[in-house]
Amino acid sequence: MPMPAHEIEALIKAAFPDAEVTISALADDNDHWQAVVKSAAFQGKSRVAQHQMVYAALNGKMGGELHALMLQTMAK
């Protein structure tokens, strides 16, 4: 079952309360998303570490309910 944008955003904001999250569809199927996430938690972290932090916030849903997520992360 696909994962709607508001659920992705809620999981990310639960892990990073200060985050500015923008979710946009890459396809019209609730299965392919792009997320731009800005958070102070990313300060001093590599891009790979930032992405790992976001994937961890998704609680194992990546690759299951959430098929594809293009990420752009940055520190506030």
* pLDDT given for residue 30 in this prediction: 84
pLDDT attached to residue 67: 85
In this structure, is the dihedral angle defined by the CA atoms of residues 71, 37, 57 and 40, taken in order, positive or negative?
positive
For residue 2, pLDDT over 80 is answered with yes
What are the boundaries of each domain within the chain?
Answer: 5-74
For residues 33 and 5, the answer to whether their CB atoms sit within 8 Å is: yes
pLDDT the model gives residue 29 = 86
Q: Which CATH superfamily is domain 5-74 in?
A: BolA-like (3.30.300.90)
User: Residue 66 — very low, low, confident or very high, per pLDDT cuts 50/70/90?
Assistant: confident
> What is the tens place of the pLDDT at every residue in 20-60?
999 999 988 888 999 999 999 999 999 999 999 999 999 98
* Residue at 16: amino acid letter: F
- Cα–Cα distance, 50 to 31 (Å, whole number): 22
Residue 14 has pLDDT above 90, yes or no: yes
Pairing state between β 68-74 and 32-38: parallel
